[in-house]
Amino acid sequence: MHITRRQIRKIISERINPANIKSNIFELGRKPNGVSLDTINSMYGAPGFDAIDQLEEEDRGILDEEEGVWYTYGSPGIEAMLRRRGL
């Protein structure tokens, strides 16, 4: 399969678009185990952490700083995390 330069540019521009990063992290956080900060770092780097900050400010999720995991509200993992932390 041959990928053209145009396709590569499109893939890169979609990946670095802050709105897409924020949306993707929101969706990843819906998983039962959330998404680890290591995964976010490897996928997006610093813009991924900026997106987490924005999502937290918008009250759309919670960062478990002890475990290094982001959860979007509605994720089944939030309840387990809150029980573990005694909240």
pLDDT score of 14: 66
Fold of 5-85: Arc Repressor Mutant, subunit A (1.10.10)
pLDDT over 80 at 79, yes or no: yes
Confidence category of residue 51, pLDDT binned at 50, 70, 90: very high
Distance CA 20, CA 4 (A): 22
Distance CA 68, CA 35 (A): 9
pLDDT score of 8: 78
Q: Kindly report, residue by residue over 10-44, the tens digit of the pLDDT.
A: 777 666 778 889 999 999 999 999 999 999 998 88
Q: What is the mean pLDDT of the chain?
A: 88
